[in-house]
Amino acid sequence: MIFAIIGYQFSFFILSGLLIGLGLSSLLGAPVRYIMINEFPESERASGQGLININTSTGQLVGGALIGAVIASMGEGIVAYESAYLILAVSAFLITFLALGLKGRSAELKMLR
């Protein structure tokens, strides 16, 4: 969101890149697998890991193509990139809102007992 609004200033460009990197690192690695392990029954955890691998790869491929299409359709210049980053920001907020529906820590501990 920061990059979409004031990304034309170099210092904000660097700051927003760091924030995006931190956010993506939390989505693309162990946290997603940890959530899956706690949400799937023990007998289906291997299938869940495979499903995460497939969806992660597909999301990277399709997401990159969609953002590239947004940039190409908006023309040249900073406006195209601002639009793409706004779409990413809205998606990130949506994912954050959806994460509120996950089990809390107390429910996870009950399930393990």
- Domain, as residue range, for 39: 2-112
CA distance 68 to 64: 6
pLDDT of residue 8: 63
Q: How many domains does the chain have?
A: 1
**Angle CA 3–6–10, to nearest 5:** 80
Q: What is the pTM of this model?
A: 0.62
Model pLDDT for residues 16-53, shown as the tens digit of each residue = 778 777 777 766 677 788 888 877 888 888 888 888 88
pLDDT of residue 45: 86
